[in-house]
Structures are given as C-alpha cells and as structure tokens.
With several copies, the nearest count.
Chain A
Amino acid sequence: MKNRKIKNVFREGAIASQFIGDSIAKHQSKTTIGAHSIFLGQVRADELEGKTVSAIEYTAHEEMANIKFHEIRETTFEKFNLSCMHIYHSLGLVKTGEICLFVFVSSPRRKEVFKALEFVVEEIKAKVPVFGKEIFEDSSHQWKVNS
C-alpha cells in the first residue's frame, strides 16, 4: 500500500476539542491548502424504553482496524486531490456530548474536500471493525448498530 506507514488511529477516551483546534493550527504552515473539511462524531444521549444513553464504550479489532483505516486513507488519496488527511477514533469510554471520531481532510480546492470527507466517513462506518456498546444511566447496555 504505497509507502505510507500504518498509523495508530485510536485514542484512549474522548477526543478533546482542544486537540482538534491544535490540529487545525498545525496546518497553517501548509500554504497550498485552500480548504479543510472536518467531520466529528459525537455521542448522542439516545433514549430507548425510557432509558437514556450516558456513554458508549468502544472496542475494536485494533490491528485489523488500523489496516482498514490505512486502506481507506490510501484509496481516498487515489480518488481525490488531497493535501493531507487525519483520522482519529476513540477506544474505551466516551460520554454523551463527547467526540469519538475526528476526520480531517485538506485540499487546495474546496470541491474535493466535501466528497472526500463523506467518502472517508462512510468507508469507516462500513469497513472498520469497531464496536460501540451503548451504556445507559442504569448501567444496562445494548450494542450499537450503525444506520
């Protein structure tokens, strides 16, 4: 898969808004970039039979997932004219309102980033072995299913 290294996409716990701000700041020296697009997945306090989700606990087949993230990255660079791309996904407990997925794509031109961002997020949802356990306020749980 080209010469890019397989990175570890996972971060323990929620992704902090400060971390996202810092990531944006790091791109300000790249003056061929004209457009960034960012997707953030946030844990919703969904209700089910009167119970409310308080957190999602994420597990993954980490080795396989990092390979899949890498393949998605390579495919996306082939399909779209991007300057750079970053993906971070939480493992462990992420409380409602916190961020569990951060996808960041940058390009000289805006048209590319919209298509690339949606492509990356849909690929992650479909192809990466990550499993979310929705934990309710009473400590009962159910396994999340992506729609």
Chain B
Amino acid sequence: MDLKIKYFGLLAEITLCNEEVLEFSETTISEVLEVLHNKYPSLRDKDFQVAQDLEIVSKDSIVSATEIALLPPFSGG
C-alpha cells in the first residue's frame, strides 16, 4: 500500500524532504514508524506526534488513511 508521509519542522531537516510516498505492508502506525526509524535513524530519539486524517492518533492505531504526518512539538504564536 502506498502511504504519503509528511515531515514538518525539525523532522524535515532529518529526512531532507517535506514528504515522500513509500510502500508499506504494515498495519499500525508504530509499525510504520519502525520502518521510518530504520530509514532515518536520527528520527528515533526525536519527540513527535503522528496525525492521520488531520487528527493526532496514538501509535497503536491502525493505518487507515493514505497520508500521515509526523509533527514535532508545536511552537506557534
């Protein structure tokens, strides 16, 4: 399954891209993250949340969207 991954802020500096489409056979967010951690080892010690369908989801959620976003700590305002 193709999944678009969006990276923001500090995370986009690590991945050197704002988004990418990768093929996954994994079914949970944490399994997807494990793949991304292997691709980008520096991601592992970073603090971030995951949004699916524009809502923050827990890491044991099932992947149900075609796009997820990795969001570092918010610092608006």
Contacts and interface: CB of A to CB of B under 8 A. Distances in A.
Do A and B have CB atoms closer than 8 angstroms in the complex? yes
Interface of A: 41, 58-61, 63-65, 67, 89, 100-101, 110, 121, 124-133, 143-146
A145 B73 contact: yes
Contacts of A125: 74, 76-77
B6 A61 contact: yes
Contacts of A101: 76-77
A53 B54 CA distance: 32
Given A61-B69, A61-B71, A129 B77 contact: no
A145 B75 CA distance: 5
Size bracket, chain B contacts: 10 to 19
Interface of B: 6, 8-10, 51, 54, 69, 71-77
A106 to B, nearest CB: 15
Contact of B77 (A89, A133, A145): A89
Contacts of A143: 9-10, 72, 75
Contacts of B69: 61, 64, 129
Given A61-B51, A61-B69, A64-B54, A127 B8 contact: no
A97 B73 CA distance: 24
Contacts of A128: 74, 76
A128 B8 CA distance: 13
B39 to A, nearest CB: 21
A63 B76 CA distance: 15
Which residue, B8, B71, B74, B77, has most C-beta atoms of chain A within 10 A? B77
A67 B54 contact: yes
Nearest to B10: A143
Nearest to B53: A64
Contacts of B6: 61
B19 to A, nearest CB: 11
B10 A129 contact: no
